[in-house]
Amino acid sequence: MDKKFGASRYYFDAPDQKEHTRSFVGHVALESHALGIDWRPQWSINRHEDTYRYLYGTSWYQNDTDTTTNSFQLTGNKESRLGQTTFGVGYEREEIDSSSLGDHDRSNRSLFVNHKLPLGDRVTIGGGLSAVHYSDWGWEYWPGMDALVTLTPHLRWFSSAAKSFRIPSYTEMYYNTPTNIGDPDLEAEEAWSYETGLRWQQKRLTMSASVFRRDADNLIDWARASSSEPWQVQNLSETTTTGFELTADLRRPFAALPWFNRIAGGYSYLDRDVDSKGLESRYTLNNLRHQLHGSIYLTWFNTVEQVIKARWQERLLGDSSWVMDTRLSYPLTDQVELSVEVSNLFDEDYIESGDAPMPGRWIMVGMRMEHSFLE
C-alpha cells in the first residue's frame, strides 16, 4: 500500500507537514489436528516505510523511518468434559531504522493459557494468564477472568476483569524536534479493566447494557507546563476511566422490505479522572465523552451489499462532530469482490486527536480476492 498525503497539524500545531508512507503486510497460517488438539501456527511480517517533511521557521526538515516487525505464534485448542482450554507461545521482533529516531531493535517471547469451565447449564467461568518477556523490560504478567450466567432463556449477565500492559513506542522514546522531546527511560503503562452488564436476545433482536472502569498507572502522554514550552513525553501518575455503553441490533426489521437486512446502534459515555501533575496534556484529556453511532445494512438487486454508518461524538474538551461513511460491495465471482468506500461522506470538518484535523471526503476503490491452495 502506497500513500501520499498532507499532514497539516497532525504531529504538532503547524500547517506545513507532508507524509509519504509505503506498507507491506504478509501473513501465513496453517490449521491441523493432532493428539486431540487443534493446532494453528502462524507467521506474519509487517514492513512500514515513512517519509515525513515539515516546515519549521524558514527551513524544511525530513524524517525517513523504516520499521519491520516479524512475529510467530503457535496456539492450541483442546475441548474436554472440563471445558475448553486454549494455550500458546509466541515470538516477536521489531526493528527500526530512522533518521530521527535512530537504529533500534527489541523482541519479546510470550506464553499464555486460558480455560473456560461450564458449571451446569447456566454458569460458565473463565480465567487465564499471559506472561511476556520483553528484551528491554524483562518479564511481565497479566491475569484475566470472566463469568457468564444465564438468568432466563433470553437474558444473560456477564462480567470480566483483566490486567493489561503497554510498552512505549519508539516515537515516544526517541522522537526529538524543537517542539517535541522523547524520553528513552519511560516506564510501561499498566492497567486493570473491569466490566459487567446484561445481554438480552430474542429472535431477531439483541440488546446489551454494561458499565466499566479502567484504572491505569504510568500512563504515557505528551505534556508541558505552558504553551511556550515544547511537548515532553512522560509517565502520568494515574488515570481512572469510568463509563457505560448501550447497544441494540435488529435483523430483518421490516418484513415488507426484504432488502433491509439489519439496523444496529449504540451509545457510550466516558468520564476520565487524570492526575496530570498540573501539566497540559496533549491526548489524555481529549478522549470521547459521548458517542452515538448507528449502522444500516442493505442489499440491492440481490447482489450489491451496502453499509451506511453514522456517528456523533463529543470530546472531553467539548468539540463535537457528526460523520457518515458508506461502503458498496459486489461479488464478481465466488472468489473476487469489488468495492467502493466513502469515508466522511458529507465532508465534515472535525478533530480526532490533539490538534489533528481529519481528512475530508475520502473515496477508496478496492478488489478482494480469496483462494484456497489446499483444495
* Rounded-to-integer distance, Cα 27 and Cα 40, Å: 13
Residues 226 and 313 in one domain: no
Residues 36 and 118 in one domain: yes
For residue range 179-194, list pLDDT tens digits in order: 889 999 999 999 999 9
Query: Is the separation of the CB atoms in 62 and 51 below 8 Å?
Result: yes
Mean pLDDT across 18-37: 90
Of 115, 131, 195, 104, the closest CA to residue 158 belongs to 195
Residues 262 and 340 in one domain: no
In a domain, 7, yes or no: no
In a domain, 158, yes or no: no
For residue 5, what pLDDT is reported? 46
286, pLDDT greater than 80? no
Residues 321 and 266 in one domain: no
For residue 14, what pLDDT is reported? 55
Mean pLDDT across 39-65: 85
For residue 193, what pLDDT is reported? 97
What CATH number corresponds to the domain at position 259?
A: 2.40.160
State which of 241, 273, 305 marks the end of a domain: 273
Residues 29 and 138 in one domain: yes
For residue 355, what pLDDT is reported? 58
Tell me the torsion sign for CA atoms 33, 34, 37, 41: negative
Residues 343 and 243 in one domain: no
- As a 3-state breakdown, the chain gives helix, strand, coil percent values, each rounded to 5, of 0, 70, 25
12, pLDDT greater than 60? no
Residues 77 and 178 in one domain: no
In a domain, 280, yes or no: no
86, pLDDT greater than 90? yes
For residue 55, what pLDDT is reported? 74
329, pLDDT greater than 80? yes
Pick the more confident residue, 286 or 243: 243
Residues 40 and 86 in one domain: yes
Helix (H, G, I), strand (E, B) or coil at 89: strand
In a domain, 357, yes or no: yes
Of 47, 22, 175, the closest CA to residue 100 belongs to 175
Mean pLDDT across 302-314: 94
Confidence class for position 255, pLDDT limits 50, 70, 90: confident
* Rounded-to-integer distance, Cα 189 and Cα 76, Å: 29
Mode of pairing for the β-strands spanning 83-98 and 59-80: antiparallel
For residue 13, what pLDDT is reported? 52
Number of separate domains in the chain: 3
77, pLDDT greater than 90? yes
In a domain, 11, yes or no: no
7, pLDDT greater than 50? no
Confidence class for position 78, pLDDT limits 50, 70, 90: very high
For residue range 158-174, list pLDDT tens digits in order: 999 999 989 999 989 99
Residues 140 and 179 in one domain: no
Number of CB atoms found within 10 A of residue 182's CB: 22
For residue range 115-133, list pLDDT tens digits in order: 999 998 899 999 999 999 9
Of 159, 151, 150, 155, the closest CA to residue 127 belongs to 159
For residue 20, what pLDDT is reported? 82
Residues 306 and 368 in one domain: yes
Cell numbers at residue 351, please? 478533530
State which of 273, 298, 329 marks the end of a domain: 273
- Helix or strand (DSSP H, E) at 305: strand 304-315
For residue 374, what pLDDT is reported? 56
8, pLDDT greater than 50? no
15, pLDDT greater than 60? no
pTM of the model: 0.82
* Rounded-to-integer distance, Cα 196 and Cα 213, Å: 9
In a domain, 157, yes or no: no
Pick the more confident residue, 373 or 253: 253
Number of CB atoms found within 10 A of residue 344's CB: 18
324, pLDDT greater than 50? yes
For residue range 91-123, list pLDDT tens digits in order: 999 999 998 889 999 999 999 999 999 998 899
For residue 277, what pLDDT is reported? 72
* Rounded-to-integer distance, Cα 103 and Cα 97, Å: 5
Mean pLDDT across 270-292: 81
Of 117, 50, 36, the closest CA to residue 82 belongs to 117
In a domain, 5, yes or no: no
Give the per-residue SS3 of 189-255: EEEEEEEEEEEEEECCEEEEEEEEEEEEEEEEEEEECCCCCCEEEEEEEEEEEEEEEEEEEEECCCC
In a domain, 124, yes or no: yes
256 lies in which domain range? 163-183+197-273
